[in-house]
Amino acid sequence: MPVPFADLQLQYQIIKGEIDGAIAAVIRDNAFIRGPYVDAFEREFASAVDIKHCISCANGTDALYLAMAALKVKPGDEVITTAHSWISTSAMITHAGATVVFCDTDGATFTIDPAAIEAAITPRTVGIIPVHLYGQPADMGAIMAIARKHKLWVIEDCAQAHLARYKGQQVGTFGVAATYSFYPGKNLGAMGDAGAVVTNDSALAEHMTMLARHGGLVKHQHRIEGINSRLDGMQAAILSAKLPHLPKWTKARRDAAMVYDAGLNQIEDVVVPSVAPDRTHVYHLYTIKHPRRDALAAQLNANGVQTAIDYPTALPFLAAYNRFGYRPEQFPNAFGDQSRILSLPMFAEITRQQQDAVIDLVRRF
């Protein structure tokens, strides 16, 4: 049985009427840039993630840039983030003008190790960007305590963690701002690029809005030099059509993860995702560890099961960071994981038969 890694076409077919209607409405109303569909999605998304302000933008990468630019990071400032993420997280620290400082993960949850943060703080540290990787919240209790103690800001990278919770509280509501991606494959995905930055701080919200809109809130009144980072009306309408389905889709992902857990956790050499007791994982990715990862992936792929490696190289070891000359022993968990991690097919519509086929292949391997 072929099992795709994700099935965006199937999701579209299930809600085709709603999506087609949303696209037709934007065309009918000529509401391509800004306008009522963008405003509506910003309101709806803010409410869905329990926060006051949502500023939509072009993608989740820009969202990180906007948050840091609004916090006025400057050359010499150090921003701490995790060694295990997508490159947007660290690259935007550099593009915003600061210096990226990597920390290792905790060895269990794939998220940043609070003890490593504490050890990385210097007089130049200004902020921390934890990433709720694969959909599991980072240890926000410990991270916020460190931030308060050292007077640092926290921006949460929620690109993989829509509706995830830490001790019952939604991710994205702990730090001063949080960023989201609506890349098509994310838990809430547009049909193109899309992103948002959210905050409860009204002054910061206004500043981020200006930065994203050529530096002004009113046309031709550019108070600062901004960038052009817009969510277009079509993507906003598509996201508004999908948003009401997100809680149900999230539950389906969590249920599918339980099926994988039960089927895989007795198999020798397979390490299923470890979820800390205080965290609600939303399984953007279901990522196992296996000592012979490449051979396992080859066997699954040869039998029609798509897999992915997120990510094959931990951030400090990418060519982009050769200038720092990092060594594996500085990031033992992130480095060790890069050769063991394997993401299995995971999407809201995955069937029991598809999951059984995956589990069976892993068992036979």
Q: Which stretch binds ligand PLP (CB under 6 A): 1-9, 56-64, 103-111, 336-344?
A: 56-64
Question: What sign has the CA pseudo-torsion 324, 128, 189, 217?
Answer: negative
The three-class DSSP label of residue 72 is: coil
131 binds ligand PLP per the rule CB under 6 A = yes
Distance separating alpha carbons of residues 313 and 233, to the nearest angstrom: 36
229 binds ligand PLP per the rule CB under 6 A = no
Query: Measured from the CB atom, is 49 or 359 closer to ligand PLP?
Result: 49
136 binds ligand PLP per the rule CB under 6 A = no
Query: Measured from the CB atom, is 86 or 347 closer to ligand PLP?
Result: 86
Provide Rg for the chain, Cα atoms: 20
State in angstroms the smallest separation of the CB of 157 from ligand PLP: 5
Beta strands in 123-269 (DSSP E): 125-129, 153-157, 165-166, 169-170, 177-181, 195-199
240 binds ligand PLP per the rule CB under 6 A = no
61 binds ligand PLP per the rule CB under 6 A = yes
Contact 172/203 with Cβ under 8 angstroms?
A: no
> Which two structure tokens, joined as six digits, stand for 117?
């943060």
347 binds ligand PLP per the rule CB under 6 A = no
Element (H, E) at 116: helix 114-120
**CB-CB neighbours of 170 under 10 Å:** 21
- Site map (CB under 6 A) of ligand PLP, residues 172-191, x = contact: ---------x-x--------
Q: Which stretch binds ligand PLP (CB under 6 A): 55-63, 96-104, 237-245, 299-307?
A: 55-63
Q: Catalog residues that contact ligand PLP under the rule CB under 6 A.
A: 59-61, 85-86, 88-89, 131, 157, 159-160, 181, 183, 193, 195
